[in-house]
Amino acid sequence: MEHTGKIPSVLGVGNALIDIIIQLDDDTLLKEFGLPRGSMTLVDAGLSQKIYETATGSKKQITTGGSAANTIRSLASLGGNCGYLGKTGNDELGQVFKSEFEKKGIKTHIGLSKKDTGRVIGLISTDSERTMATYLGAAADLSPSDITPSIFNQYRYLYAEGYLVQNHELIKTIFESAKSKGLITAIDMASYNVVETNLAFLKELIVSSVDIVFANEEEAAALTGKSPDEALDEIASMCGIAVVKTGKDGSLIKRGDEKHKIDSIKVNAIDTTGAGDSYAAGFLYGITKGYNLEKCGKIASLTAGKVVEVLGANLPDTSWEEIKRLIQEIKMNN
């Protein structure tokens, strides 16, 4: 059954960061700094600066970022009703982050830290694979004391990025607070190495407090040790809705006995940065509108496909207008 009136609110919680996207000429730099291809690696301020200074590439782009932030920004661009909770430095980049979100109509719950605003250097290989070196900075200071339960009264859904799993007390507080307020909760697995490092805790969190799980093929394998189809079944047994994204092959979605294979759209891939985040935005948009799972998956596939055609996770307004038009077609054809 589809909702009428205002779309239910989604609160995103994550690392509020600035994205620095660099297209590499080759993978030499990844080997030089010991960055596993396709992974997210935490680095300190000094190493982050060194990677930035060493990286040579054909194009560079600086924009607001962070996994959940990308999802919430995309959801707002689709017309979603949403908010964002995170922490930045009391600096110019922090002000830029907050003001850009508020311009999108996103309600912000931004705490301030004495550290600089965090940043992610996204290194894009020639085949469009993305490797990230992340200096969390102020974002790492987000703590359980920043999670005021009353914040959740304003929302119907919670969406958190898996990168927060590295702070067990924090993410447990976020999900337990959300569930205590009756919110439907969702998490994106974020990165296979984060899953591997926090495996037992993550499984316990999903079973106790998560309704929707998003994972790509590598993350699903890290979580279950299984192929995408089998991983989907196992994850779905742990939560309400399981989503396994399989890149060019599309995605798999399961809820109870209901299962769907969603094809990817044909794209000219330039950069996979933000693809998973955009997928979650499209899926959550469909869920909050009350669409069936197949529609949600098709909208998610559409938004993910469009973002890989540009450098970085930000689409221009003209692209969103096209996406909204295509969503209407999906609505009519199903």
Alpha-carbon span 38 to 41, nearest angstrom: 10
Average pLDDT over residues 316-323: 83
Q: What is the pLDDT of residue 61?
A: 78
Question: Does position 311 have pLDDT exceeding 80, yes or no?
Answer: no
Query: Which pLDDT band holds residue 222 (cuts at 50, 70, 90)?
Result: very high
Would you state the pLDDT for residue 6?
54
- Would you place residue 82 in the very low, low, confident or very high pLDDT band (cuts 50, 70, 90)? very high
Nearest alpha carbon to residue 57 among 20, 9, 94: 20
Among positive and negative, which fits the CA dihedral 49, 90, 163, 120?
Answer: negative
- pLDDT of 4 > 50? The answer is no
Q: How far apart are CA 70 and CA 77, in angstroms?
A: 11
Res 2: pLDDT: 37
| Residue type (1 letter), 247 | G
For the segment 294-310, the average pLDDT, to the nearest whole number, is 89
Instruction: Report the relative pairing of strands 117-124 and 130-137 from DSSP bridges.
Output: antiparallel
The token pair that represents 247 in the structure block: 């890149």
> How big is the chain by its Cα radius of gyration, in Å?
18
**What average pLDDT does range 201-220 have in this prediction?**
97
What is the mean predicted confidence (pLDDT) over 266-282? 80
For 56-66, what is each residue's pLDDT tens digit?
766 777 788 88
Q: Tell me the β-bridge partners of 131.
A: 123
Q: What is the mean pLDDT of residues 274-293?
A: 93
> Over 50: is that where the pLDDT of 1 sits?
no
pLDDT at 16 over 50: yes
**Region 224-231 average pLDDT:** 97
Residues 6+ apart with CB under 8 A from 233: 254
Answer whether 52's CB lies under 8 Å from 135's CB. no
Let me know: does 136 contact 278? Beta carbons within 8 Å. Answer: no
Q: Write down the pLDDT at residue 52.
A: 85
Domain ranges of the chain: 10-17+65-116+137-333
Residues 165-183: tens digit of each pLDDT: 999 999 999 999 999 999 9
> Percentage of the chain with pLDDT > 70?
94
Q: Looking at the predicted structure, is the pLDDT value of residue 285 above 50?
A: yes
Q: How confident is the model at residue 291 (pLDDT cuts 50, 70, 90)?
A: very high
Does residue 6 or residue 114 have the better pLDDT? 114
Per-position DSSP letters for 15-52, written without gaps between them: --EEEEEEEESSSHHHHHTT--TT-EEE--HHHHHHHH
Output the pLDDT for position 224. Answer: 97
For range 300-321, the mean pLDDT: 80
- The answer on pLDDT for 273 being more than 80 is no
Q: Give per-residue pLDDT as tens, 245-272.
A: 998 899 999 999 999 999 988 877 766 6
What share of the chain in percent tops pLDDT 90? Answer: 71
Q: Quick one: fold of 10-17+65-116+137-333?
A: UDP-N-acetylmuramoyl-L-alanine:D-glutamate ligase (3.40.1190)
Residue 5 has pLDDT above 70, yes or no: no
Residue 272 corresponds to which tokens in the numbers above? 């996979």
pLDDT digits (tens, 9 = 90+) for 229-238: 999 999 999 9
